């Protein structure tokens, strides 16, 4: 094969990129010294002609490494021969273990052309990736590679964005450069970087392409003048480090991606309860009032959150002594814990440059980012002039652990149960070059003046600032990355919504401590590195408990450590709708399953109708939180009667389903099998499902079809060729691969249907807290498929421990009128109260009458048994 490929004629003409005049065409590379085994291919790549030097200096010598890692995964790496070019550090994304796959057994095949060098990845005879669409460009500040796409491609991924789940394939650019993205603008770079795309082909399966590169990047999808589609990478540095993976369907492809970036972190049982927050609670008394009002409204509240309002002048690891005094905060937290509820606060990365403990201690350790002359790098965020922790610094984890241990100490501080991270792109309000952050902060009211103190509040607590210790002077030099690069204004300009690379963020010429990486290369990693350090700090203070950390900024693999909320959306119907596609992408394609949006919207004023609809929709995302901003009207669920009703109904269903959720979420953390899924994941051959992103599956069993437009009381829901059952009535719905109009939907209603062939464990009733919920017995819903069979499972553990001593795993199978229950018991004793069989059945008199048949059982789930249902 190699010998014959080496003799192939060069591809049609070298390409010219950009609009620079008087530059030679880019020559590409030629392959030599090719070595091939059944496990790997290596080669030298040498510039094949005169350098074009369009957006940097062409590198003369490259290396090629191809690894058949597993039967479903192929690794293709193109890097500089001297290995001076920056690569994503393994401490951020550990490399997947090479399991010694082989070309012989692999579902993916690597082929290449030597001059000019290009490569093809095939699945059997089907071309999945073909880089012959343009000559390879590998320059000091610009890399380009283009692959042909099939006609009418079905592409997904390339997040975070607010575009359709099914990506546009003409004149489309997806930019990767994490930024503070208030209002989540359309077709723009947002908070996260996940450079993976999925290509779904209904006849042959689904494959994915992950580019392990953290540099700023534009990915373009378009077609040539003759109508041929292509996808093109344009990056500001790094290397081409591709992972190709394949599955027979989208779900299998997602499982393969999880093997590359890591399995998601398991969450505690309580984290799936309902959460409440807002930016603008003026003091601890108002927070307590909200807790009280939810209780009076009979709306279950699992966790209360507090935004930056609790801080003293917006400084992290401080309390406002007037509005959130320690004594009253501890009373609030104690009350919540005594009532089996939880408490979470926000921590931002930026630390106030002032005489306060967190800054003084960090300065003494030297853990903040510094300019190249050794002076402190300063920005301006909520507390005014700020310093930023350097997550590469060898002492930063000890510093972060110490701050958490002191401020969140169970006996002397605020005993939080989880953590919320914001502004970690990292955000900087001061526009580049921000030469005078002090002046900027002064002119822009940073920190903003707090509201007046209520007359009944106690007097301020005394402040005991630590002695300031100046940071050590030293010259910072980059140890990783090519020299001579323009780290502020590179020749190639990505389409960053904030403008230049350093605008509204940390300067990209900053050199990190430790290994000497530059921010130009590692910018997109800042948020994920803070997340990992924060998770470790949470575990350090509570070593045995699963830590909940919700972050804004993410990079590939973030789900191993944290969950994600979808940022600062608006109270708009369009943001209500797009939240579905965003959540589906994160949960299924990016392997960050603990995901949800700000229910009812963060910015602007919601309406009663929108909030009622969103209260229902949000209950079917893994992370469920109501949150809005300072200056907007209050939108707690108890504000409007209709929203109260909507929330009660939705939470009642969510809580009864909580063990179903918990079981499938646990499965994803063990196998990567997605829990929250687009419709085409379960019906991969039904082309009608490929573009649907307003309906979705909550696990494999429940189809959610929300009303998504203002003023509507109906929804045109698509039902594939299968059997479904109405959640509320049990009435069968025979899908025919067409839309069915669901009518007369009050603003408190959300249509739910159970997919045939599934068995769902539910609690016998809901509860006000998840602790109380776990005392309820179980029921089963059996929904036979078209073949008359059904199956399901249940996983139980203690709900919070990192290491479990006792679990219960139960498999359910229904066939020929018999339900078989097979449990693996470890200590748990849970009662199965009853079984409900759906469908017409031989004893049913009509479609409406007897659509449900409930059989009392009162059996222990841990004991294998058979139950006759017909």
Q: Which amino acids are annotated catalytic?
A: 422, 425, 568
Alpha-carbon dihedral 256, 260, 261, 262, rounded to 10 degrees? 80
Nearest by Cα to 314 from 453, 468, 450: 450
Distance CA 107, CA 115 (A): 26
Enter the tokens of residue 413: 């501080």
Enter the tokens of residue 663: 């079981």
Task: Report yes or no: 385 and 356 within 8 Å, Cβ to Cβ.
Answer: no
Distance CA 842, CA 829 (A): 34
> How many alpha carbons fall within 13 Å on the CB side of residue 520?
27
Q: What are phi and psi of 2, to 5 degrees?
A: -65, -45
Distance CA 752, CA 727 (A): 5
Nearest by Cα to 585 from 561, 560, 553, 621: 621
Distance CA 667, CA 593 (A): 11
Q: How many residues does the chain have?
A: 870
Peptide bond into 676 cis (omega under 30): no
Query: If DSSP codes are grouped into helix, strand and coil, which group holds residue 338?
Result: helix
The contacts of residue 502 (CB under 8 Å, 6+ apart) are 432, 433, 488, 508, 509
Distance CA 257, CA 729 (A): 38
Distance CA 340, CA 84 (A): 54
Nearest-5° angle of CA 649, CA 651, CA 655? 125
Task: Report yes or no: 472 and 362 within 8 Å, Cβ to Cβ.
Answer: no
Query: Could you report how far apart the first and last alpha carbons of the chain are, in Å?
Result: 61
Please name the residue that has the structure tokens 């010259």: 475
DSSP state of 587: I
Alpha-carbon dihedral 354, 356, 358, 364, rounded to 10 degrees? 70
Peptide bond into 311 cis (omega under 30): no
Could you tell me the CA-to-CA distances from 168 to 79, 485, 582 in Å, in that order?
Answer: 30, 34, 15
Query: If DSSP codes are grouped into helix, strand and coil, which group holds residue 303?
Result: strand
> How many alpha carbons fall within 13 Å on the CB side of residue 153?
27
Nearest by Cα to 619 from 300, 392, 854: 300
Enter the tokens of residue 213: 């590169």
Tell me the torsion sign for CA atoms 717, 720, 721, 722. Answer: negative
């Amino acid at each position: 094969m190699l010998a014959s490929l080496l003799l192939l004629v060069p591809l049609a003409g070298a390409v010219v990129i950009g609009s620079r005049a008087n530059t030679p065409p880019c020559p590409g590379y030629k392959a030599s010294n090719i070595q091939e085994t059944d496990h790997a291919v290596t080669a030298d790549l040498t510039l094949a002609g005169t350098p074009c030097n369009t957006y940097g200096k062409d590198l003369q010598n490259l290396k090629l490494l191809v690894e058949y890692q597993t039967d479903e995964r192929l690794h293709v790496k193109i890097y500089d021969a001297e290995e001076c070019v920056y690569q994503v550090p393994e401490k951020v994304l550990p490399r997947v273990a090479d399991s010694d796959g082989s070309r012989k057994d692999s579902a993916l095949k690597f082929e290449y052309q030597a001059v000019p060098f290009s490569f093809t990845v095939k699945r059997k005879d089907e071309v999945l990736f073909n880089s012959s669409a343009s000559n390879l460009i590998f320059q000091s500040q610009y890399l380009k590679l283009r692959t042909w796409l099939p006609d009418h491609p079905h592409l997904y991924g390339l997040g975070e964005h607010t575009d359709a789940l099914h990506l546009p394939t003409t004149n489309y650019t997806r930019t990767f450069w994490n930024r503070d993205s208030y209002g989540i603008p359309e077709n723009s770079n947002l908070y996260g970087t996940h450079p993976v795309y999925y290509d779904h082909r209904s006849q042959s399966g689904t494959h994915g392409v992950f580019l392990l590169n953290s540099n700023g990047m534009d990915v373009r999808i378009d077609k040539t003048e003759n109508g041929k589609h292509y996808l093109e990478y344009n990056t500001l540095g790094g290397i081409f480090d591709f992972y190709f993976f394949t599955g027979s369907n989208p779900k299998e492809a997602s499982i393969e991606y999880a093997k590359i970036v890591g399995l998601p972190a398991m969450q505690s049982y309580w984290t799936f309860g309902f959460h409440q927050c807002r930016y603008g609670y003026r003091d601890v008394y108002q927070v307590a009032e909200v807790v009280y009002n939810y209780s009076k409204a009979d709306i279950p509240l699992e966790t209360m959150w507090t935004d930056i309002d609790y801080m003293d002048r917006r400084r992290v690891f401080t309390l406002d002594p007037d509005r959130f005094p320690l004594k009253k905060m501890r009373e609030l937290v104690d009350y919540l814990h005594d009532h089996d509820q939880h408490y979470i606060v926000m921590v931002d990365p930026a630390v106030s440059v002032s005489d306060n403990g967190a800054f003084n201690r960090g300065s003494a350790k030297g853990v903040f980012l510094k300019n190249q002359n050794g002076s402190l790098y300063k920005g301006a965020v909520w507390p005014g002039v700020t310093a930023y922790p350097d997550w590469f610094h060898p002492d930063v984890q000890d510093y972060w652990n110490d701050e958490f241990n002191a401020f969140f100490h169970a006996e002397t501080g605020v005993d939080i149960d989880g953590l919320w991270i914001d502004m970690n792109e990292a955000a900087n309000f001061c526009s580049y070059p921000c030469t005078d952050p002090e002046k900027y902060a002064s002119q822009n009211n940073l920190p903003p003046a707090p509201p007046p103190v209520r007359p009944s509040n106690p007097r301020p607590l005394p402040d005991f600032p630590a002695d300031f210790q100046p940071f050590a002077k030293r010259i910072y030099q980059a140890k990783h990355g090519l020299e001579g690069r323009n780290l502020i204004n590179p020749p190639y300009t990505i389409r960053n919504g904030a403008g230049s690379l350093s605008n509204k963020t940390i300067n990209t010429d900053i050199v990190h401590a430790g290994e000497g990486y530059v921010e130009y290369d590692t910018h997109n990693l800042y948020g994920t590195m803070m997340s990992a350090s924060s998770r470790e700090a949470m575990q350090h203070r509570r070593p045995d408990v699963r830590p909940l950390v919700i972050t804004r900024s993410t990079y590939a693999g973030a789900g191993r450590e944290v969950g994600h909320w979808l940022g600062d959306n608006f109270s708009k119907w369009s943001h209500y709708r797009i939240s579905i596609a965003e959540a589906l992408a994160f949960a299924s394609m990016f392997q960050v399953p603990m995901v949800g949006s700000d229910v009812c919207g963060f910015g602007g004023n919601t309406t009663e109708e929108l909030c009622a609809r969103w209260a229902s929709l949000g209950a079917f995302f893994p992370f469920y939180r109501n949150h809005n901003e300072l200056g907007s009207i209050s939108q707690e669920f108890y504000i409007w009667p209709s929203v109260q009703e909507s929330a009660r109904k939705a939470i009642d269903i969510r809580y009864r389903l909580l063990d179903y959720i918990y079981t499938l979420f646990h499965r994803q953390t063990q196998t990567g099998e997605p829990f929250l899924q687009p419709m085409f994941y379960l019906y991969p051959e039904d082309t009608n499902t490929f573009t649907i992103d307003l309906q979705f599956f909550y696990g494999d069993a429940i189809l959610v079809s929300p009303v998504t437009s203002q003023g509507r009381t109906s929804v045109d829901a698509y039902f594939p060729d299968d059997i479904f059952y109405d959640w509320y009535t049990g009435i069968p719905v025979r899908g025919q691969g067409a839309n069915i109009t669901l009518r007369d939907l009050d603003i408190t209603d959300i249509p739910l249907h159970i997919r045939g062939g599934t068995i769902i464990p539910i609690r016998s009733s809901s509860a006000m807290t998840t602790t109380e919920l776990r005392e309820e017995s179980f029921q089963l819903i059996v929904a036979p498929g078209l073949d008359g069979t059904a199956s399901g499972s249940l996983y139980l553990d203690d709900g919070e421990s990192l290491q479990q001593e006792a679990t219960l795993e139960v498999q359910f199978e229904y066939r020929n009128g018999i339900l078989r229950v097979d449990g693996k018991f470890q200590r748990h004793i849970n009662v199965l109260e009853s079984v409900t069989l759906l469908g017409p059945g031989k004893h049913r008199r009509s479609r409406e009458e007897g659509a449900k048949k409930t059989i009392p059982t009162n059996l222990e789930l841990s004991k294998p048994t058979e139950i006759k249902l017909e």
